Amino acid sequence: MLFSALRSSVEIRVFLSVWTSKLHSRMSSSCHPRAALCQMNVTADKRANLRAAQELLEEAKRRGASMAFLPEAFDYIGSSREETLALSETLVGDTMKQYTLMARKLDIWLSLGGFHERGCDWEAESRIYNSHVVINNQGEIVSTYRKCHLFDVALPEKGVFLNESAFTIPGASLVPPVQTPIGKLGLGVCYDLRFPEFSLALQKSGAEILTFPSAFTEATGAAHWEVLLRARAIENQCYVLAAAQVGRHHDRRSSYGHSLAVDPWGAVTADCGGERVGVALVEVDLDQIRSVRRNMPLRKHRREATFYASLEGNGQT
């Protein structure tokens, strides 16, 4: 039966979400661009990861997506600092060449969130950037953002111990939102999601969509993932698209999954679930952004920056 076959590749709930989206599209008189969230379960096997990504991207294209989003660490997840560094590449290395070829062949834009990019002083320091790369449908890199907020967190009671700064260089700055077929895209990566001022800066610079490719831990994901994504969408009146890793990568690391799309009102419009890889599609209605912002003009009501800074220096110890 159909549902039985689907269990081998994509969750039934993702199928139903996509089917509902397609039905809505047929019933609608307007035609909105479609984005695809690709949920992955990568390991240290870069070739296998590339093949898995290609299958997801081909599926996204067949379903009518004009842009597809891959999660943080789409290229690989190493089991040690040494393996992570050894597998890293530059933006002109083989991995990125393969993705530029795929973008051109499939005629699709790509958001590649969390590429292990060798740092500018690699020979001396052997450290990397966690880079979010956007490639257009001509196979050209049009934007690169290097993750600014690094995940140095120890939660002993949750079994979470990660020290990203041990091998990663923090990015120096945000990058301006980039115009894509689905709208103006503001780039972040995973832990950046937890800093509201980061998203607000992108929105003020014109972002209509915020994207946070991620590999949230199971513990932090269960507690915070959906509420953070919905909060960023509501307070910035933007779409938020977040492709995620799912499942076990090696003996010491697993990811929460639940790649989500959230609309400007804060409603979850797609969810890949927490068990399997797969693709979920979402239609991006830029008119909804304009309507929400017009009816509840948060930007107009926001006070000047000095108002919010007025308490600085007055905190009590």
Per the residue annotation, which of 38, 59, 117, 147 is the catalytic one?
147
Q: Nearest-CA neighbor of 197 among 220, 174, 179, 180?
A: 174
Residue-wise pLDDT for 16-75, tens only, equals 444 444 444 443 445 899 999 999 999 999 999 999 999 999 999 999 999 999 999 999
Is 147 designated active site? yes
CA 183 distance to own-chain centroid: 15
Is 123 designated active site? no
Residue 128 lies in a domain: yes
Residue 1 lies in a domain: no
Residue 312 lies in a domain: no
Per the residue annotation, which of 72, 208, 218, 283 is the catalytic one?
72
Cα separation, 242 vs 261, in Å, equals 6
Residue 206 lies in a domain: yes
Domain that holds residue 268: 11-300
Residue 284 lies in a domain: yes
Is it the case that residue 125 has pLDDT exceeding 50?
Answer: yes
Q: Domain count of the chain?
A: 1
Contact 120, 155 (CB under 8 A): no
Contact 71, 215 (CB under 8 A): yes
pLDDT for 315 equals: 63
What is the CATH classification number for the domain harbouring 255?
Answer: 3.60.110.10
Residue 316 pLDDT level (bands cut at 50, 70, 90) = low
Residue 190 lies in a domain: yes
Residue 29 lies in a domain: yes
Cα separation, 27 vs 263, in Å, equals 19
User: Is the overall model pTM greater than 0.85, yes or no?
Assistant: yes
> 276 vs 106, 212, 279, CA distance in Å?
24, 19, 10
Per the residue annotation, which of 38, 190, 238, 272 is the catalytic one?
190
Question: Between these two residues, 258 and 11, which has the higher pLDDT value?
Answer: 258
Residue-wise pLDDT for 235-292, tens only, equals 999 999 999 999 999 999 999 999 999 999 999 999 999 999 999 999 999 999 999 9
Is 61 designated active site? no
pLDDT for 291 equals: 98
> 45 vs 41, 50, 88, CA distance in Å?
11, 9, 12
- Rounded to an integer, the average pLDDT of 136-141 is 98
| Residue 182 Rama label (left phi>0; alpha psi -120 to 50; beta) | alpha
Residue 48 lies in a domain: yes
Residue-wise pLDDT for 291-311, tens only, equals 999 999 999 999 998 999 999
